[in-house]
Amino acid sequence: MKKTLLAILIAGLAITGLSGLAQAVTIDTLLYETKLADSSKSTELEWVNGLLGGGFTFLYKDENLSGEWTNEGEGRIYSHALVNSPAYFLIKTGQVTDDKNTHFLFQNIGELNLAVINLSAMGFNTISNITGVSHISEFGGSTPVPEPATMLLFGAGMAGLVGVARQRKNKTIL
């Protein structure tokens, strides 16, 4: 009985601890898009605060993006490393070939240190359709995410509760 319970506990901890490793990248949510008159920090921050209800701060503007986009192997899904772990980020495209929007606001929901975007959601077929990305602006703070150690602790607690419940059940039967 003890060996079985120990094996279940170890298996549960392993599954809980490794569950995040097999997941594909999470695409960040495109919330809003527009074509702003200019791309100054104050204009972008004013637009973001107007849409999201205020209280956000400008964290960082990355304007050196040449060649830093990674195709995630899922068609039109690309990622780029972020400096902070912002709650929101804005992507400003370069000169577009037609009358499309150039400013795209995303909620950072997956890997907080990555901007993961779907070009199709933005109306582009390939990264070359937007003649590059002008910059990425980061806003707000980081969104709290449970860390693996917390999940392991939670899994161990659940396994312990199952073990106690089984022990009580076996005592009442005898």
Q: Could you give the 3-state DSSP secondary structure of residue 135?
A: strand
Q: Residue 101: is its pLDDT beyond 90? A: no
3-state secondary structure of 33: strand
Query: What's the mean per-residue pLDDT of the chain?
Result: 77
- Per-residue pLDDT at 108: 92
Domains of the chain: which residue ranges? 33-139
Q: What is the pTM of this model?
A: 0.65
Res 54: pLDDT: 83
What pLDDT does residue 28 have? 93
pLDDT at 126 over 90: no
pLDDT digits (tens, 9 = 90+) for 61-91: 988 776 677 888 767 888 888 988 899 999 9
Q: Of 87, 145, 80, 84, whose CA–CA distance to 115 is shortest?
A: 80
156 SS3 class: helix
Closest CA to 68 of 82, 48, 84: 82
104 vs 18 pLDDT, higher one: 104
